[in-house]
Amino acid sequence: MKVNEIFYSLQGEGFFTGTPAVFLRLSGCNLRCPFCDTAHETFTEMSVAEIVEAVSQYPARHIVITGGEPSLRITPELIDALHAVNFFIQIETNGTRPLPSGIDWITCSPKNADVVLTRVDELKIVYTGPESEDSIPTLASRIEAAHRFVQPCDTGVAARNSSILASSISFLKQHPAWRLSLQTHKLINIP
């Protein structure tokens, strides 16, 4: 399996914000989002047994499988092996590809309209400005989710980020079924 990196930190975003978690970043993505802030292309080949050994060295039993787009790599064998050592498995996906069964928590962050998932635990929309507001209700009507988050996009430009944050807060106040997700790991400078 093509593994970009494994690290231990706190989940920075969404429903499990602040939760200690092992991150398994799988390499590669099927999309090319202009705002992508993840260097996911490099990889080391690891077997499922090697991955399980590496992630098990940390005390947490919450694993976040992310990418890139982890649905390109994840297998039922990996899910079973992680469950066998008591991991709660969260996946962060762009929703454009089907997932194997058995994942404990699906966080879907759709980046375009080609989403095939129709039911997830957590929907997290990256808010890039008022132009996002047309797509949010459309996605919400197509994807069933118990928890819905709007996450201001980090453009890397402070003034633009302030403007996006202000617009996203205004949007949330008008759409109270959604909640704010911040990239808290960036705010407190952890991986």
Binding residues vs ligand SF4 (CB under 6 A):
29, 31-33, 36, 38, 40, 67-69, 94, 111
What CA–CA distance (Å, rounded) separates 158 from 84? Answer: 44
Distances in whole angstroms, Cα of residue 89 to Cα of each of 63, 78, 85, 190: 5, 10, 11, 21
Q: Of the two residues 72 and 81, which places its CB atom closer to ligand SF4 in the complex?
A: 72
CB-based contacts of 191, cutoff 8 Å, min separation 6: 7, 9, 23, 185
The least CB distance from residue 42 to ligand SF4, in Å, is 14
User: Which positions are annotated as active-site residues?
Assistant: 23, 29, 33, 36-38, 92, 185
The least CB distance from residue 101 to ligand SF4, in Å, is 22
Q: Of the two residues 94 and 168, which places its CB atom closer to ligand SF4 in the complex?
A: 94
The least CB distance from residue 150 to ligand SF4, in Å, is 16
Strand partners, 6: 24
Q: Residue 131: helix, strand or coil by DSSP? A: helix
* CA-wise closest residue to 184 among 142, 148, 149, 144: 149
Q: Of the two residues 62 and 111, which places its CB atom closer to ligand SF4 in the complex?
A: 111
